[in-house]
A and B are shown apart, each in its own frame.
Chain A
């Protein structure tokens, strides 16, 4: 069969392409060009940069497979970068990689898979797809330290039917040893950590492109008392402890951001803990939500551990209640639900529930 392999220029997708060839498939490599600077250049660091596209191209050449760079800069700007800035302006903490996967990447890649005459799409994510009990399931990657199932939670049955994730069956050590065995130039390339369209500091990027995030305002305590001033909400994330510029006895954390007044609310660690959160942009792998009361576990940040929680549906929508109060739950981040090693689905954190008595803020 013919595989469309999304090649980022990193070691995972390089090995994914090579493994597909070894399994006897025909491979077509593509890189999505998602962002360019004002002068038409690609950023020079982060993923999807000129150097990364070049690595992907060179790996494709070494594997002797066709390789193309596909332009979806306009789509990406409209559906990922603009909402990224708008979310910060609204005092939220977005995850642009999830927005990209949700709104751009998989749709574009699956469309191309068909248009380019390929049978399925392969990416280098650390997660697994299996078909069991009459449906496709999305599972955490074999290497739990590298698991990327969090950013794929929005994939439903029609997507998973056409996606293969060979890297999820391997540990990162396995991936690197395959890369070394195959002599791929990306074998020792460090993992990318950055947001692909941001050169180094996302706050500098936001200040440059979305001026409203740099509006100065007050820093207040949970009683509403002004304890200081700041130069823009962009410098604060919920749960942040350092760089608050106020000296109070007990450690203080950012517990809330109020965009209309550019107010940063700080409080103690206890003030940071919330009982649950309300979810938007819901997507469930099986296509339907579990029943109200389902006991699951939930990850509220990419690198957070999954913690026990109960899913509830009410008249307004869907809520996740944590078994134990959780700190640093930021609206805009994704909450991803797991049943053991299986991804159930997830959504965007719309608001947090501060007390177990349903008092939302």
Chain B
């Protein structure tokens, strides 16, 4: 199986497994306790927090809130700030955000927050001026660092520079972190969401960076862990795995961009040469690992099934609970017609791929598309 769906989730790195192993076994302690078993777990947790803060360039470790994944981090960022202090702050976000952000905004909207969804151009990129025009001094702004479907990189730093003082900026960097430099200084964001499993770590664990001084209404209530911002016994093994995966991602980022970028570029090059009329959904700047393409005249659903049979795993749109492919809200927001969207497929490369995988994938995809035409 040639797996080209690394944006959905990627291969767990062996170093991450090794780092987690003790915490899935003998080091089983709950960090919230007074005895030695707890202390050992607590040390691991706080070391992980310190290292995560360093990797993101956060001023203090306690700006890191560990969560049960990227979706939960997005919920906490959007709902937690919009409702903090009993307020109903305005939320400004974009039509191409992940559902974790859009549905959180919609939830806060039902609780009385004003929600503004800024549209996007056919380029798949938001216009910072449009985002800023929708803000006032008491706004939560949420714009993703790069889109998970198309890979289009968003102008976060520009939005951060232009925003009115008092407006809080959140960025979902879940998809971007593995290949793009994401730091507090570089993005200028007040909140950053990450998920371990997109980085070669385990599923079900993530974090939210929250700039010191930002008040949060928790979305998970309970025993008051994470300074009351996220209750629930810590997933120590997961958190250790998350930070190990972040560490490896940052350390290997240059190599990833070179290696995986070469695989993706070779894939598109060979595919264009073999098929001629393959249409990329977005231009640069985009994530080096993403290739979102339209194959005119070929239904994506059929293509994906035939690729699965031919040993190539790819994706399209977003899969619903039943697994059927549905129209992507991202492509819809970009003004792409339903019929064009239904011919579009996402190939995403990962840390395990190199240039030969790009060439192999292109040949296999071209052969299947050829059969379907």
Interface residues of A (CB under 8 A from B): 28, 31, 33, 40-42, 50, 53, 57, 66, 68-71, 73, 112, 115-117
Q: Is the CB of A69 within 8 A of B302?
A: no
Cβ-neighbour of A70 out of B301, B306, B372 (below 8 A): B301
| Chain A residue nearest in CB terms to B368 | A117
Question: Would A69 and B324 be within 8 Å (CB), given that A112-B302, A115-B302, A116-B302 are in contact?
Answer: yes
B233 on interface, CB distance cutoff 8 Å: no
Q: Is the CB of B322 within 8 A of A68?
A: no
B279 on interface, CB distance cutoff 8 Å: no
Q: Is the CB of A69 within 8 A of B309?
A: no
Cβ-neighbour of A117 out of B299, B306, B320 (below 8 A): B306
Shortest distance from the beta carbon of B169 to any chain A beta carbon, whole Å: 30
Q: Is the CB of A33 within 8 A of B305?
A: no
| Chain B residue nearest in CB terms to A33 | B324
11 A-B pairs in the complex with CB atoms less than 8 angstroms apart = A28-B309, A31-B322, A42-B321, A42-B322, A53-B322, A57-B323, A66-B308, A68-B305, A68-B323, A115-B372, A116-B305
Contact-size category for B: 10 to 19
Shortest distance from the beta carbon of A303 to any chain B beta carbon, whole Å: 30
Shortest distance from the beta carbon of A52 to any chain B beta carbon, whole Å: 10
Question: Would A50 and B323 be within 8 Å (CB), given that A115-B302, A116-B305 are in contact?
Answer: no
| Chain A residue nearest in CB terms to B320 | A40
Write out the residue numbers on chain B whose beta carbons fall within 8 Å of the beta carbon of A116: 302, 305-306, 309
A192 to B305, CA, bound (A): 29
Shortest distance from the beta carbon of B313 to any chain A beta carbon, whole Å: 12
Q: Mark B296-316, 1 if CB is under 8 A from A, else 0.
A: 000101100110110000000
A33 to B323, CA, bound (A): 9
Ordered nearest first, which 3 A-B pairs have the shortest CB separation?
A71-B324, A69-B324, A69-B323
B325 on interface, CB distance cutoff 8 Å: yes
Write out the residue numbers on chain A whose beta carbons fall within 8 Å of the beta carbon of B323: 53, 57, 68-69
Shortest distance from the beta carbon of A84 to any chain B beta carbon, whole Å: 21
Q: Is the CB of A71 within 8 A of B326?
A: yes
A41 to B302, CA, bound (A): 23
Complex interface residues of chain B between 327 and 350 (CB less than 8 A to chain A): none
Shortest distance from the beta carbon of B345 to any chain A beta carbon, whole Å: 15
A31 to B323, CA, bound (A): 10
Q: Is the CB of A69 within 8 A of B308?
A: no
Q: Is the CB of B322 within 8 A of A69?
A: yes
A57 to B322, CA, bound (A): 9
A357 to B178, CA, bound (A): 82
Cβ-neighbour of A41 out of B301, B309, B321, B371 (below 8 A): B321
Write out the residue numbers on chain A whose beta carbons fall within 8 Å of the beta carbon of B326: 40, 71
Most buried by B among A57, A66, A71, A112: A71
A28 to B305, CA, bound (A): 10
Shortest distance from the beta carbon of B102 to any chain A beta carbon, whole Å: 13
Cβ-neighbour of A50 out of B306, B308, B309, B322 (below 8 A): B322
Question: Would A71 and B309 be within 8 Å (CB), given that A53-B322, A53-B323 are in contact?
Answer: no
Most buried by A among B299, B320, B322: B322
| Chain B residue nearest in CB terms to A73 | B324
Shortest distance from the beta carbon of B255 to any chain A beta carbon, whole Å: 35
Write out the residue numbers on chain A whose beta carbons fall within 8 Å of the beta carbon of B324: 33, 69-71, 73
A307 to B300, CA, bound (A): 48
A40 to B372, CA, bound (A): 30
Shortest distance from the beta carbon of B3 to any chain A beta carbon, whole Å: 15
A229 to B372, CA, bound (A): 59
Write out the residue numbers on chain B whose beta carbons fall within 8 Å of the beta carbon of A70: 301, 324
Complex interface residues of chain B between 287 and 303 (CB less than 8 A to chain A): 299, 301-302
A117 to B306, CA, bound (A): 8
Question: Would A66 and B309 be within 8 Å (CB), given that A33-B324, A50-B321, A57-B323 are in contact?
Answer: yes
Write out the residue numbers on chain B whose beta carbons fall within 8 Å of the beta carbon of A57: 323
| Chain A residue nearest in CB terms to B371 | A117
Shortest distance from the beta carbon of A115 to any chain B beta carbon, whole Å: 5
Write out the residue numbers on chain A whose beta carbons fall within 8 Å of the beta carbon of B302: 112, 115-116
| Chain A residue nearest in CB terms to B325 | A71
A28 to B302, CA, bound (A): 13
Q: Is the CB of B309 within 8 A of A33?
A: no
Write out the residue numbers on chain B whose beta carbons fall within 8 Å of the beta carbon of A69: 322-324
Write out the residue numbers on chain B whose beta carbons fall within 8 Å of the beta carbon of A117: 306, 309, 371
Shortest distance from the beta carbon of A54 to any chain B beta carbon, whole Å: 8
